[in-house]
Amino acid sequence: MERGERILEAAGELLVAWGYRRVTIDEIARRARVGKGTVYLHWKTKDALFLAVVLRSKLRSHRSQLARMRTDPLAVLPSRMMSGAYLDFLADPVLRALYHDDADILGRFTDIAKKELAELSAYSNEVVRHYLEVLRAHGLVRADMTVEQQQYALLATASGFFLSEALLHDRAPQSAEERSTVLARTVRGALETSADPDPGTGPAAARTREAAAAAAPDIIPAFERLAELSEREMHRQLRE
Amino acid sequence: MERGERILEAAGELLVAWGYRRVTIDEIARRARVGKGTVYLHWKTKDALFLAVVLRSKLRSHRSQLARMRTDPLAVLPSRMMSGAYLDFLADPVLRALYHDDADILGRFTDIAKKELAELSAYSNEVVRHYLEVLRAHGLVRADMTVEQQQYALLATASGFFLSEALLHDRAPQSAEERSTVLARTVRGALETSADPDPGTGPAAARTREAAAAAAPDIIPAFERLAELSEREMHRQLRE
DNA sequence: TCCGTGACCAGATTCGAAATCTGGTCACGA
DNA sequence: TCGTGACCAGATTTCGAATCTGGTCACGGA
C-alpha cells in the first residue's frame, strides 16, 4: 500500500476511534509509519486530510452504487438506491461516525466540511433532481408531487433512517438488512409507481425492468459525473 | 394567570431564548414576578421544572391531536396524524428547540429527560404499536410489513422530517404547510391502503371514512391514556 | 396559621495565567 | 530529490482562586 493511502487509512481509523479533536498528525504519521512532515507533503492541513478521508469513503459508496446500477438496472430505483446506500453507509465506519455522534467525534469538523463541500453538495442536489426527472419520464416515479417535493421527501426520509441508530437507540430492528428493507419499502411507497419488482415475474414487473433498463443510460452518467467531482474534490485537498 | 403557569411560561420563554445552561432560577422567578423560593414551592429542582415545561408542550400537542381525531375520524390516519403533529411541533417554540439545536439549547438536559421519560417513552411505544394494529384490523394500514417494521418506518421517517430544518438547512421547502403535506404523502405511501381520502368523493374514499370512524373509538382512548400519563408525569415533577 | 420571600450556604462553574501540547515549517541528511 | 523530525508560535489544557447559582429555611406579612 502506498504512502498516501496508508496515511488516509490511519487517519480514518483514528478518527473513528478517537474523534477529530483527539487525533494528532503525529499519531497519524506514527501509525502510517511515516514522518510527520510527510503528511504535509501530501495534504495542506489537518482539515484537508480529514476532508479527504471523508471524501474517500463517500467516493467508495458512490462507486459501489454505480457498480450495482451497471450490474442490475433495477438498482436505479430510488428504493434500491437508498437501501444500497444505507448498507454501504453501515459498512463504512467513517460514514457511520459522521452521522452517529456529531458532537463527540467530529468537533468543529462538520462546519468546515459543510463549507468546503458546499459546491459538491449543490451539484449532488442537481443530480438527484435530474435523477428523479428521468425516472418520472420513464414512469418509474409517480407525478403526484413536484420534483422538489419528492426530493425533499427522499432526503428527509433517508436522513431519518440514517440517523435512526443514534435517535432510536434500541427501538430499531436489530439487523441491518431488515432496516434497509424497511427503508426501501418506505421510499418505494413514497415515490415509486411499482410494487417490489424483484421477485415479481408478472408483466408489470417485466415492464418495470424494461423501464429501468431504459432509464439507466440517462442516470448512470449523471452519477458518474458526481463521483468524478467527488474524486476531483478529494484530489484538490492534496498539496498543489 | 396563576403562579405555577406563569413560572412555566417564563421558563419556556427563557429556555428557547437562552438555552438550558444560561437560564437561572433567579431569572425565571423575576420574569414570573415571584420570589425565587416560590419556584421551589412548586418544583423540586431546576431539572423537574424544565421537564415540566417540555411535558406541558408535549401534552398540548397530544391534546390538539386528540381534538382533531374527535372532530374528524380521518385524523386517525398515520398521514394525518404525522402532518398534524408536525404542524403542532413547528408552532411550539419549546418543541422546536428540542429538535433544532440539541447541543446549544439543551446542554445536558437531554440525558436527564431521556432517563426520566423512559417509562413514558416505553408506553408511547406500546400505544403506537396498538394504534397500527387497530388500523391494520380496519384495513386502513397495509399488511406488507410486520407491525414492528411499520413502527420503525413511521418513527424513522418522522424523525427525518422533524429534523429536516436543522439538517437540510435551506434545501427544504419554505412553507410549513408544504413540508407537512409532503410528510403526509410519504407516510401514506409507506403505510396506508388508501389514496388521499380528503378531497375524494368516490366509493373508496367513503369506505376509508367509514373504516376510520370505526377505528377511532379504539384509538382515541389509547391516546387519551397516553395524554393522561404525560399529565401525571408532569404533575409528578411537582413537589409532593 | 400559613404562604411567599430573599439572604444565605455549599458545591458547581468560570476565570486567568502558567504550563503543555500540536499544527505546520524547513534545514538537513539519506 | 524526497523524506524527516527538531523547532516555533499559537492554541489548548491545567489548576487554584474567585464568582455564580441551585436549593434551603427562618422570617414576615396576610
DSSP for A151-213? HHHHHHHHHHHHTHHHHHTTSS-S-HHHHHHHHHHHHHHHHBSSS--SS--SHHHHHHHHHHH
A149 touches chain B (CB under 8 A): yes
Distance CA A190, CA A179 (A): 17
User: CB-CB: which of B144, B159, B179 is closest to A163?
Assistant: B159
Distance, Å, A101 CA → D8 C1': 34
- How near does any CA of chain A get to the CA of B13, in Å? 26
Q: Please list the residues that pair with A22 across neighbouring strands.
A: none
**CA B18 / C1′ D30 distance in Å:** 36
Question: Nearest residue (Cα to C1') for C13?
Answer: B21
End-to-end CA distance of chain B: 22
Contact, B45 CB vs strand C, < 7 Å: no
Instruction: Compute CA distances B217 → B66, B69, B71, B196, whole Å.
Output: 12, 10, 12, 22
Whether A111 contacts chain B with CB within 8 A: no
Between CA B36 and CA B39 the distance in angstroms is: 6
Q: How far is CA B232 from CA A172, A233, B54, B59, B119, in A?
A: 28, 55, 13, 10, 12
Q: What is the pLDDT of residue A240?
A: 62
If you average pLDDT over residues B171-184, what whole number do you get? 91
> Average pLDDT, stretch B4-20?
93
Residue A222 pLDDT: 97
- Cβ of B178 under 8 Å from any chain A Cβ? yes
Q: What φ, ψ does residue B43 adopt, rounded to 5°?
A: -125, 145
Instruction: Reply yes or no on whether the pLDDT at A61 is more than 80.
Output: yes
- Segment A177-195 shows an average pLDDT of 95
Q: Comparing B197 with B55, which gets the higher pLDDT?
A: B55
| pLDDT, mean of residues B27-41 | 94
Closest nucleotide to residue A42 (Cα to C1')? Answer: D3
CB A152 within 8 A of CB A119: no
What's the pLDDT at B197? 75
- Tell me, what's the pLDDT at B239? 66
pLDDT tier, B23 (very low <50, low <70, confident <90, very high otherwise) = very high
Distance CA B183, CA B168 (A): 15
Better-scored residue on pLDDT, A201 or B117 = B117
- Among A123, A154, A182, A194, pick the best mutation site for testing chain B contact (most B Cβ within 10 A): A182
Which residues of B are less than 8 Å from A155 in CB distance? 160, 164, 168, 171
The arithmetic mean of pLDDT across residues A229-235, rounded, is 93
> Any chain B CB within 8 A of the CB of A157?
yes
B37 touches strand C (CB under 7 A): yes
Q: List pLDDT tens digits, range B69-103.
A: 999 999 999 999 999 999 999 999 999 988 876 66
Residue type, A130: H
Q: Which nucleotides of D are covered by protein (CB under 7 A)?
A: 2-6, 13, 20-26
For residue A50, the surrounding DSSP H or E stretch is helix A46-71
pLDDT at residue B1, as a whole number? 63
User: Could you tell me which residue, A170 or A153, shows the higher pLDDT?
Assistant: A153
What is the structure's pLDDT at A171?
A: 78
Q: What does the pLDDT average to over A175-182?
A: 96
With CB atoms and an 8 Å threshold, state whether A155 touches B164.
Answer: yes
Q: What is the pLDDT of residue A1?
A: 64
pLDDT tens digits for range A94-113? 999 888 766 667 767 877 78
User: Taking a contact as any Cβ pair under 8 Å apart, which residues of chain A between 82 and 101 contact chain B?
Assistant: none
- Higher-confidence position of B67 and A112: B67
The mean per-residue pLDDT over the stretch A107-123 comes to: 84
Nearest by CB to B161, from A156, A167, A189: name it: A156
pLDDT score for B103: 64
* pTM of this structure: 0.93
